[in-house]
């Protein structure tokens, strides 16, 4: 037999306990969610240092670029921590950087090898975020890798400052709220190169494309085709080649009797060095087709590639994001600093990576927080100068930087061992701008 004890107002002891627990849970719930809303991945607020993750190709087709990117990152860390001559920290305008780390915390870094493979790059980025506590991931040299890592960073809630990535997709259909690109893209290369190609080679040409078979190659081929066909050129063929093919002879021999009089190499890094060297070995540069001199164009050029390709690069047109021979105050400060550290001038890959690190650190100082949402807000629409390429803006709509683009040509008469690219034209930013909507994609939200 049980005895039920009732209170005079109808409440039982059980119902009081239930109501009390329920009320406490409801009252506690909003606080729990609010606390999480303010937390973010690898918050360094309680530590004495802040860790950045440098994810670069140390092996594979883009290893040269990767090595130079790493040098630039290390130099940026030195400058942020107040060591060395400060480099572009002295020329960047506006700047909130103080040379005492980031928000007073010492900058440290961890590195990873992307191997120029998306899965390896994601694995090393994941390791840097989950095990090493990196609050930002940066690096590149392959757009396939950049797109894959950018997506991972979005999921992890960590900012991704892209290094060398030139595909339209990175800030186009695959753009992400947490991803930012300072480097230019294939569309801009086409827009900058078009008028120069028209002036140098005329309107009656047949182009043959050899294209690296991944996102960057595809978008560059599309952008350059749009440009050259707009000039009145015909596209003879567009052939896809596997990344890291090494021996391109089986793809070059069909060019010889295709009727094309221009070969466009949508290759980068070692692929470009090999394909250009082999094209020259097959006598393409000395050929006459359709009563015209045969021409080779490399839409995305870099000094490192020029160095690898040696004499073969002479007279060949392309575009580049930046070149060490620029005479603006920012470029000179960076070249001086990098040269003193390593004994040779920086590549465009090094430049973009150095600038990205400084921009990220500056955004934290501006925002006054390491919280990625605050950092993203500070970067969106940020206008700056003194970092090479003139006045630059991080467009808020797609997180793409807009600045002047350089059209270059392999130097016929270099004045030094590094003077391999001659700047033919500094194409103004207005000529390479486009509507962010043309490449689609959604940034998503900052969670």
Partner 1 sequence: MDAILLQILNGLDKGGAYALIALGLTLVFGTLGVVNFAHGALFMLGAFCAVTFQKIMTFSKQVKDESITFFDAYKEIPYLEIWFGETGTMLIDWVVPLSILLAIPVMLLIGLIMERGLIQYFYKRSHAEQILVTFGLAIVIQEIIKSFFGANPIPTPAPEIVAGSANIGALFGLSDSVVYPYWRLIYLAFAFVVIGAVFAFLQFTTFGMVVRAGMADRETVSLLGINVERRFTIVFGIAAVVAGLAGVMYTPILPPDYHIGMDFLVLSFVVVVVGGMGSLAGAVAAGFLLGILQSFASMNEIKAIFPGIDQIIIYLVAVVILLTRPRGLLGRKGVMED
Q: Tell me which stretch binds partner 1 (CB under 8 A): 177-185, 271-279, 365-373, 391-399.
A: 271-279
The reply to whether 290 sits near partner 1 by the rule CB under 8 A is no
Judged by CB under 8 A, the residue of 226, 249, 426, 431 near partner 1 is 249
H or E element in which residue 119 lies? helix 118-130
Q: Which CB sits closer to partner 1, 218 or 251? A: 251
Sheet with 159-162, edge to edge strand ranges? 106-113, 49-56, 136-139, 159-162, 179-181
Judged by CB under 8 A, the residue of 251, 301, 354, 360 near partner 1 is 251
Residue 23 burial by Cβ neighbours in a 10 Å radius (0-12, 13-18, 19+): exposed
Q: Which CB sits closer to partner 1, 152 or 289? A: 289
Q: Which CB sits closer to partner 1, 82 or 339? A: 339
Asked whether the beta carbons of 126 and 118 are under 8 A apart, the reply is no
The reply to whether 239 sits near partner 1 by the rule CB under 8 A is yes
The reply to whether 315 sits near partner 1 by the rule CB under 8 A is no
Q: How far apart are CA 399 and CA 153, in angstroms?
A: 15
Transcribe 36-79 into DSSP letters.
Answer: HHH--TT--TTSSEEEEEEEE-SSSTTHHHHHHHHHHHHHHHHH
Judged by CB under 8 A, the residue of 24, 25, 29, 340 near partner 1 is 340
H or E element in which residue 96 lies? none
Judged by CB under 8 A, the residue of 339, 374, 390, 441 near partner 1 is 339
Residue 165 burial by Cβ neighbours in a 10 Å radius (0-12, 13-18, 19+): buried
Which residues inside 135-194 make contact with partner 1, applying CB under 8 A?
none
Judged by CB under 8 A, the residue of 63, 76, 306, 376 near partner 1 is 63
Provide the b/e sequence for 174-192 (b: ≥16 CB within 10 Å): bbbbbbbbbbbbbbbbbbb
193, 194, 198, 201 alpha-carbon torsion, rounded to 10°: 50
The reply to whether 58 sits near partner 1 by the rule CB under 8 A is yes
Judged by CB under 8 A, the residue of 104, 232, 283, 368 near partner 1 is 283
Give me the least distance between CB of 308 and partner 1, in Å please: 7
Q: Tell me which stretch binds partner 1 (CB under 8 A): 26-34, 219-227, 236-244, 435-443.
A: 236-244
Residues lying near partner 1 in the complex (CB under 8 A) are found at: 58-60, 63-64, 67, 237, 239, 242, 246-247, 249-251, 253-254, 256-258, 270, 273-274, 278, 281-283, 287, 308, 310, 332, 335-336, 339-340, 343-345, 415-419
């Amino acid at each position: 037999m049980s005895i039920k004890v009732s209170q005079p107002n109808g409440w039982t002891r059980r119902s009081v306990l239930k109501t009390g627990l329920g009320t406490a849970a409801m009252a506690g719930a909003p606080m729990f969610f609010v606390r999480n809303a303010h937390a973010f991945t690898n918050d360094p607020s309680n530590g004495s240092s802040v860790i950045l993750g440098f994810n670069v190709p140390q092996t594979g087709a883009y290893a040269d670029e990767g090595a130079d990117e790493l040098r630039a990152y290390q130099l940026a860390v030195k400058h942020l921590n107040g060591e060395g001559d400060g480099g572009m920290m002295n020329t960047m305008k506006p700047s909130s950087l103080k040379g005492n780390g980031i928000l007073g915390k010492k900058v440290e870094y961890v590195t990873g090898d992307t191997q120029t493979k998306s899965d390896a790059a994601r694995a090393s980025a994941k390791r840097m975020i989950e095990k090493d506590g990196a609050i930002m991931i940066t690096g590149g040299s392959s757009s396939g890798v950049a797109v894959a890592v950018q997506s991972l960073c979005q999921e992890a809630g960590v900012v991704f400052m892209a290094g060398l990535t030139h595909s339209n997709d990175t800030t186009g259909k695959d753009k992400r709220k947490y991803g930012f690109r300072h480097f230019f893209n294939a569309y801009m290369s086409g827009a900058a190169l078009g008028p120069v190609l028209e002036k140098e080679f005329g309107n009656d040409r047949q182009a043959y494309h050899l294209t690296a078979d991944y996102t960057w190659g595809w978008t560059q081929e599309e952008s350059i085709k749009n440009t050259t066909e707009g000039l009145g050129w015909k596209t003879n063929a567009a052939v896809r080649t596997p990344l890291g093919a090494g021996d391109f002879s089986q793809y070059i021999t069909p060019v010889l009797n295709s009727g094309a009089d221009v070969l466009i190499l949508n290759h980068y890094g070692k692929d470009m060095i090999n394909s250009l060297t082999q094209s020259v070995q097959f006598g393409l540069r000395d050929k006459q087709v359709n009563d015209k001199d045969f021409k080779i164009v490399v839409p995305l050029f870099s000094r490192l590639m020029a160095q690898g390709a040696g004499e073969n690069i002479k007279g060949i047109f392309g575009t580049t994001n930046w070149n060490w021979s620029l005479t603006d105050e920012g470029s000179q400060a960076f070249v001086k600093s990098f040269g003193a550290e390593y004994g040779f001038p920086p590549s465009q890959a090094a430049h973009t990576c150095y600038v990205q690190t400084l921009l990220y650190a500056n955004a934290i100082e501006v925002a006054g927080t390491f919280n990625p949402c605050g950092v993203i807000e500070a970067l969106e629409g940020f206008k700056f100068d003194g970092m090479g390429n003139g006045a630059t803006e991080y467009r808020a709509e797609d997180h793409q930087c807009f600045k002047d683009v350089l059209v270059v040509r392999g130097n016929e008469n270099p004045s030094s061992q590094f003077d391999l690219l001659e700047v033919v034209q500094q194409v103004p930013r207005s000529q390479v701008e486009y509507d962010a909507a043309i490449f689609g994609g959604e940034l998503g939200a900052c969670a």
